[in-house]
Structure 1
Amino acid sequence: MANALPLALNLDKPLHPWLKRIAIAFVPGPMDPVLEETAHGILHSFKLVGHEVLEQPRDGVDVLLTTATYGEPLNWRKSLVLTGRKRFGLSNKPTVFTMVHVTPERLQKDLDYFEDILKKEPPDPADYNFPGMATEAYRVLFEQGRRGGPILALQRVVQSQAMGLKVLLVVGDDRPEYVYHFDLVGAYPKSVNRDDPTLFYHDIALRMTTTVSTREVTDHEVVSPPIPYEEWQSWDAPKAMRAAAIELGKRHFFTEMVRINDLVNVPAVQDSVASQYSEGCFGTWEPKGNALVATITGSARPVDKDNITEDDLAVLVGVRPRGIGAFIKHVEGKRNDPPSSEAVEMMDMDRPLPRVHLAPPQWNVEADVPVVRSKLHGHRGVKAFDPSLVEYAPLDPVYFDYIVSCATDAQAQGVRDAFARAQCLLNPDDPRQIAFTILP
């Protein structure tokens, strides 16, 4: 895909090479002068660099840009995320971005409020009684806030009230000063208006374009033959996975699953959003099956990653052409749900890396296996590490300027390229046994 920006525009930042031209339509909701200025600037920027700005949504539109009011719940019937396709007769599923305006004073007041209530343990449900939120929302907001700070708790409130996961929080008094970009995984990169509106709106448009240019890689395919249950029982990986889950649980590595109905009361609209989301996954290689045994997706059904069973595991045996999903095998005699949304990421990273030959007497099996035995994708930061024991394999710089999301081809590519440079995975004499990267 050709880069969507003209070379004459210098943002002093690298760009992803796979950005595409898109079609965007503005469907205004509640408006004020700041939102009007922001919407005009964003649409003008899209048009300036060659994107298609539509007067009305039509089939094939990539982005619907809309608005909502800060602190006020949007009726689900007016949510473009839930009803946009039916409302405009679309056969495709466009990405919806919702602009919400807040003043700096109000934003700081609300962040300070969360700072105070998050100190209470256990949480007081009365502190989390926000308009439009479900009665159980306090559990999610407390967990998210303790994990990511007041801004993550605030983000979940704004997303819930706006009935949209992708929110542009426009901060300013009588003009937009900066914009937070909220998404499902909790990121909040910021576009800042530094007295150059052209670059400010280009940065916003670029972040939106980056999001829309990525593609989910969750179109998995089941291949035959299935694995006999007796063979599955002989594998070591499933037992190791259950043991690892317990150890991760002791360390509170994974947060509780986020259930949409714990935040807001909306009808089940499966074509629009999943009913629950869980973060992270992990897997380990099984030499006897020449496969990766990994956790299933939390979007299919609730999964307690701290205490998994064999029904919470999937078997990955390859990556589909063009990386659109993974090849998976079912196991006879147990439940088989789709693998984690990071299945392609975990499998594809082996492609540029060496394989290792295992043989007796050191090993109880003879097989060629990936150099990476086990993989963990978690939504955790790294405070410190010992470089003599652990190697940090950074992503390319562009991923820190224009971030991508989980379950996408772009993230899988970035992760694969990062670990392909890890010396401890390439050099057998390197003593380090762990490599990690950071997804901003």
Structure 2
Amino acid sequence: MSASTATDVTAVVTVLATAAKKASRSLATLTTAQKDAVLRDAADAVDAAADTILAANAEDVSRAEIAGTEASLVDRLRLTPERIAGITDGLRQVASLPDPIGQVVTGKTLPNGLDLRQVRVPLGVVGFVYEARPNVTVDGFGIAFKSGNAVLLRGSSSAAMSNEALVGVLREVLTRSSVSPDAVALLPSASHDSVTALIQARGLVDVVIPRGGAGLISAVVRDAKVPTIETGTGNCHVYVHADADVDIATRIILNAKTRRPSVCNTAESVLIDKAIAAEALAPLMSALQSQGVVIHGDEDGMEPATEDDWHREYLSLDIAMKIVDGLDEAIEHIAVYGTGHTEAIVTKSLQAANEFTARVDAAAVMVNASTAFTDGEQFGFGAEIGISTQKLHARGPMGLTELTSTKWLVWGDGQVRPA
């Protein structure tokens, strides 16, 4: 791409970010009732435009398949009537949730009579960089809008037609509702220059959230001048402890691996305690292989594992499997190879469960439950904008509260500070 074209893209992003900044100031004053009405209208409008949206998505899917895109990415890209229904259900759920804006976090009255309150406020302008998955376009808008934020969406070029159709519907709803349509904008996706312009728009964009593969996330975190919230990759483990129920372990692992292999809360590694391996290994392998899962490991009947397999987020019907010598080795393996997303233990031992949850460093730690539950909707947040694997400013599924900051309100009646 020529320097002049890159400059043009930067100029477009600057215009959109400037408009979003202006819109964000008015969004902060909307009432809960006004925001909820817009979200319900948006859900109805997406439902009404389903045929148009599906037609646009079919073009994106066709282009991806012709280009030889791997099946897991095509699955992320594809919309269906059921997935559109899920999108609109998410908007309605967000509309039904408590509004965090204005909530009092803490407060007190000082001895000098000053009344202090710490209240939740919007972040302002949220930049969202993501790959495929056009449903995320609407999720991002819904969460940002309910929490009083304007959002700049930079989806991937593979979903360009789908995203244009969806954002067009959302902007029409905002206009009809007498809300600035600049509360949501879709950035150009033909080149990486729009990402660079977004993540370096300091002063216009308050935070950037990347959601996608490891390459995308590391590039955004490395090059951003705007604060970022890292939604990391998911090399999620399930540890089958010595005191596990093998039937429960099998059910959990099958769900965590095969329910939807292309998403970040999928189990990518299984650790089996040596003390239960003779009982558990064969049925676990049989159950996984019966569902078409390729097992990578060091035991007979597995694809030979390399060091890369222990690090891999497969996003496919592949899984790494390793026999470990006890709880300590399982936790150490997770510490070395995990990505801080979701880790699970299957055990009947309360002591082992407590030790695992205390020592494993991840955004979510499951006991006798599938890693697939790490999800904003499953946690009762409605739609989510991502799952943060860092520790500041948010961690885990990011719902409404995670897209707010706070400010202090100080009320007095003429107090001055002594010299």
Instruction: With the length of structure 1 as denominator, give the TM-score of the two structures.
Output: 0.27
Q: Which structure carries more relative contact order (alpha carbon 8 Å, separation 6+)?
A: 2
The structure whose residues are more often helix, as a share, is 2
Question: TM-score when scaled to structure 2?
Answer: 0.28
